[in-house]
Amino acid sequence: MFLTSRFRPEPVALTKSVRWLLCLSVGLTVLAHAVKTFRGDGTALNAFLFLDWGWPDERLAQTERVWLMAIAGLTGLGVALAGIWRSVAWWMIPAGLYLLLEAVLSVHVGGQPFSHWSPAAAALRYGTPLFAPLVLAGCLQGAESSTRSETLAGWRAGSFGTGALLLRFAVAVVFFTHGCEAWQHHPRFIDLVIGTGARQFDVWLDETLVTRILTGIGVVDVVVAIAILLSWNPLFLGWAAFWGLVTASSRMTAFGWGAYPDVLLRATHFLVPLALLLLIRPPWMTSSGNSRDRRQSSRSHQDERSPVTV
């Protein structure tokens, strides 16, 4: 079958790369949100407290910066030490809850196209700090195991599989939502395509052509989202990582280097699919590792069969 399910996430090898990819994605997301807040770009929480609760601007700015610095500090420690201590990874959860609140309040505040889809569109943004600790704990458990069988047994009995599955679901939700937005010709996406063509290639694309391009992109995104939801196929996870990087980088290609926080804010769109791709260990990524495992296994069997002399 094309949507093959023979691949499964196994925290036996490449766990260090997976850990740091997930930590890096969370750290860059929180850093970007902090930069945008301190730069005065405004947040949904800020708008909610000002419009609904009547907080003054000065009090809002001070309060938001204090709690954002606290969240960033906890997240930074969690990211820096997650590869050493299993429990520290849970310090990322306050960042996930804050970003989830930001997405929910975007629906309430409104004022932007498709703002009612914000919780789905930002699923990776808040889902990664919420679900990554499950994967990180499993990776450390696998790294501490002495044999492959112990590692797999510990994973199946632990939280690793749940975290990986939730992250895969979040990737599918984000791709499906962005596909629907592209299908419906999100004004922001139109600006990104036109801006990239004009700034990078000195080509001014007609808006009618751009809407047709977005329709095609939307179809592909929805198909990829459904495929990722149904399967661990590395082809679709690899495409998600590539396309996530392209679409995140389009903020800078369309609006210049000053838009770098918008790229970092979407780091989870390409780093998380890449981490999941490493977790399923397709043969073309681990052939050398499998060869080493087979050599070590054969040497251990030979040692067991060799007579012991006293």
Q: How many domains does the chain contain in total? A: 1
* 287: in domain: no
Residue 247 has pLDDT above 90, yes or no: yes
* 306: in domain: no
Tally the residues of the chain.
310
CB of 164 closer than 8 Å to CB of 9: yes
Buried b / exposed e along 173-190 (16+ C-beta atoms within 10 A) = bbbbbbbbbbbebbeebb
* 186: in domain: yes
* 96: in domain: yes
* 292: in domain: no
Q: In the structure encoding, which two tokens stand for residue 45, read together?
A: 């929480």
Mean pLDDT of the chain: 83
Q: Which amino acid is at 159?
A: S
Residue 294 has pLDDT above 70, yes or no: no
Q: Give whole-number Cα distances, 18 to 9, 13, 263, in Å.
A: 11, 9, 21
* 268: in domain: yes
Q: What is the mean pLDDT of residues 54-80?
A: 85
Q: What is the mean pLDDT of residues 68-75?
A: 88
Residue 26 has pLDDT above 70, yes or no: yes
* 117: in domain: yes
Residue 6 has pLDDT above 80, yes or no: no
The whole-angstrom separation of Cα 18 and Cα 136 is: 8
pLDDT given for residue 304 in this prediction:
45
| Whole-structure pTM value | 0.85
Give 274-306 as a DSSP string: HHHHHHH--HHHHHHHHHHHHHHHHHHHHHHHS
pLDDT given for residue 300 in this prediction:
44
According to DSSP, residue 92 is labeled G
* 296: in domain: no
Return the C-alpha torsion angle 191, 196, 199, 204, nearest 10. Answer: -70
Domain that holds residue 107: 15-282
113-135, pLDDT tens digit by residue? 999 999 999 999 999 999 998 88
